[in-house]
Amino acid sequence: MCGRFTLTNPLRIRATYPRYRFEEFSEYRLPRFNIAPTQAVLGVLDDGSEHVRPLHWGIDGRINARAETVAQHDVPFRCVIFADGFYEWRGKKPVYYTMKDDRVFAFAGIFEPVPSGEPPCAIITVPANDLVAQVHDRMPAILEDDEIAAWLTPGDMQPPQARTFMQPFDPAAMQARNVSMRLNDARYDAPDVLIDNDPVQETLF
């Protein structure tokens, strides 16, 4: 599953994905080190607007949607959710997963349309790749950069096509490290969560 993630430099969204726009001034452009369920996340909907906007993380209490379930039917209301890392836990010890080049990337997600306010969304999960599987059996569905526009094409997406986007990400492009147990408090959101504060804990890798 994916229960926490980071977006430590939201400005890099525009640098990495220049086709997507967001407001010049917004509290959502602040760095986030411990994004938790029910909080606001930054994403783009498949409505053709190409506008980065806040979404509410959670649909009827569900923060994740299994790819195997999502792809049983046509997939309307798709979105992407931007991140630059995510966490999984081995016992009480969090492990932080990023790209080896520390770049921003996009989770595949689904959302529910609403008349106003932040649309609720969920992150699609897939079986873990070889790196994440050392800690957890699921991981977020991460889109390749050249897949994002196709995932966001307006209109329903049929199951065979949807499945091509919902695959474990290449573990060779990723890295993992232990980080602080301060992450266990969802209210704590500061840069020092990325520092391993438990030297007695054996490292994973």
- 101-104's contacts with Cβ under 8 Å and 24+ in sequence apart are 103/12, 103/16, 104/7, 104/9, 104/12, 104/13, 104/16, 104/17
Give per-residue burial for 80-94: e unless 16+ CB within 10 Å, then b.
bbbbbbbbbbeeebb
Structural Rg of the chain based on CA atoms: 16
**Residue of 88, 112, 144, 147 with catalytic role:** 88
Which one-letter DSSP state was computed for residue 130? T
CA atoms lying within 13 Å on the CB side of residue 15: 6
Active site residue 2: yes
Classify residue 158 by burial, with Cβ atoms within 10 Å: 0-12, 13-18, 19+: exposed
- Quick check: 177 and 197 in contact, CB under 8 A? no
88 is catalytic: yes
Residues tagged active-site: 2, 88
